[in-house]
Structure 1
Amino acid sequence: MPDKFAFIDAELQARQILGRRRFLQTTEADQGAMLRIGDRPMLNFCSNDYLGLSRHPLLIERARQFTARFGAGSTSSRLICGNHSFFEPVEERLAALKGTEAALIFNSGFQANTTVLAALADRESLILSDRLNHNSLIQGARLARCRIDIFDHNDMDHLRKRLAVRQREEFSRILIVTESIFSMDGDQCPLDELVAIARASGAILVVDEAHATGVSGPQGMGLTCGKGVDVVIGTFSKACGAFGAYVAGTRKMRDYLLNCCAGIIYSTALPPGVLGAVSAALELIPGMQAERKTLHAHAGDLRTALDRLGWDCGRSTTHIVPVMAGRENEAVSLSAHLAENNIFAGAIRPPTVEENKSRIRLAVTAVHRGEDIEKVIDAFARWSR
């Protein structure tokens, strides 16, 4: 009898041959921007904890308080008996900070992106998606089982052309889907232009703010604030230092998702301790302007120095600084060189990025010091290409 799991061996072997087989590596958070791998301290340039809030005393204490008061788990979907008293105050606070009528909390950014797009589109819909959108947005579009068109990255002329062609056809609705700050490239979408295009065409504009929430825009609450974006999706797992996600928009949109989005209907709600940490983060973030200023200054210094050394940082204008290596083996070797210098910065390779666009993704945080930035610059300067 054939081995029914032969496909697993074949897939893993294929990835091994390509050098793309993934493995888990245990890490432990240390002081400041440091982490430990085994007994080895490393300077961490991989973390999305952009403001250092994951270890902030207020988040830790609020998580402890909520757990002690409400329990370790929410026990149910919010539509059954899991809509505890702490959810809606957090959503109201979030909506006020985002400048929207309402907000709705989800369990993760991946869950939100996959299930919200599937809820907004039907089989007769059209989704126009930026070429460099995160995998979760791609999966969400596929789950909708509708027509999907890809427009070139941040190319508004190409988007208009795709719209012009497709508007000759009959679609129940059209969605334009993008990110405000792109996770692997660190550049921003042309948001004002996207809003204008969506309004002129009658399309629903969906923007993922995962890497902008906490670090960019008014009070650090994202680039979409006050822009009139139809559907804003973001996470609490990056600059907010906790876990979970949100959708911000109109009250009508919130009501629709409560009734039609599988990610809300069929999933147990986030644990109380997580909501406690989120509530603390939303209190702190508006007042963290100094931390955001430090973060952006360090990122600017890093890009400038790497550019002078001849490194290509792509289109980055934010705290996410990609250093282009091109070939996969070059990215892997460069990551190993950084590790030898006690800098933890992994190689990003296909399928996460396109072929021949492998890179080192440097994530600058507010807890990095000037000497940390200098150490990274020095390591790149000593790499022999």
Structure 2
Amino acid sequence: MRAGLVLVFVLVAAAGGGLVLLRFGREESELPPPVPAIVEGIFAEQRLWLRLDNGDLVSLRPDAARPEPEALPGKALGICRAGALPMVLSQGAGQGAWLLQTRASGKWSPGRSLAAEKDSLIAFGCGERSVYIVTSRRLLTVEGDTVRETALGRELEAPIVSTTLFADAASLWIGFNNGEWGGGLIRIRRSDGKLESLERNASGTLCGGPLNAGCDPVNAIAASPRDPACVVAAIGLVHMMSHGRIVELCGNGIRRLYYKAEDHQPPYPDKNADEPGNTVAFFGATRVGGNLWAVGSDGLYRFPGSGPVAFRSLPRFEERGGYRVSFAIPDVVLVLTNVNGKASLGGAVPLLVVR
């Protein structure tokens, strides 16, 4: 039996300003099989590790044609780099249990079992000496053989798309990506679990910034290149229009560090009056040496400790077993993901992984 015909409709602008409907037909058998969306990635043991939205974990060497699947006892819930080694949090064998494993010399450790206690997992990440698991009600801090549990000041709701976690000397910073519903940023004091939502609406309008939980998905958090006591957050959303900026947070102060106009659309009444309607969306940021690298919808940005921002266009992405990646830049790896499509109308966006 022949495969069914798939019809694709595309609206394009005609020369006179109207819209023309184009229809393309393709046999279903000709379409490539879909691959699970990438949620996050790290680079360790000379390869790229990718956690997928179906719970699989794959790894890709820079010279390999396709990624290799990694066998885990359960679905991968989070991945981070502990020193030079990959660490993964997965669903444990027992009901209501998580398993924390490290990989070294080509093998995964037996792992440590942690009680989930029917909590929702909010965020997972590695600091310099500790591993952090943030649930809807608790902060679990793992240091060697010790697990310390701290109750949060209030209960958290799981993100619609993803979270990002950054640890400094005293706090955990967690960015939420809820797609077209925003996301925002919270700070958790590690000593007692006190939790703060960090926002600032300078204009007072519906989606005024520089940081608005109802409108701004936070896709990455990193140390500021200009002040070690501060952090920066990458904000980005493509949902029919493009919207984003880089903000800097110092203590309770929040300021816009950078934005870039995508076109010359006038400002919208519900957004910042000093920003155009379309701005570059930022989907990743990381500190490399004394520089902050950020990836936007149009290219790669380098923010030095002082001086102007340097920009370069995105490199060519190579197809590797259904995934689009680039190892062309020495300090970082770029990978395209369509995971944001579950909560916005944007297409594939670039993620940034530090080597």
Q: Same fold (TM over 0.5)?
A: no
Q: TM-score, normalised by structure 2?
A: 0.24
Normalising by structure 1, report the TM-score: 0.23
Q: Which structure shows the higher helix fraction?
A: 1
Bigger share in strand:
2
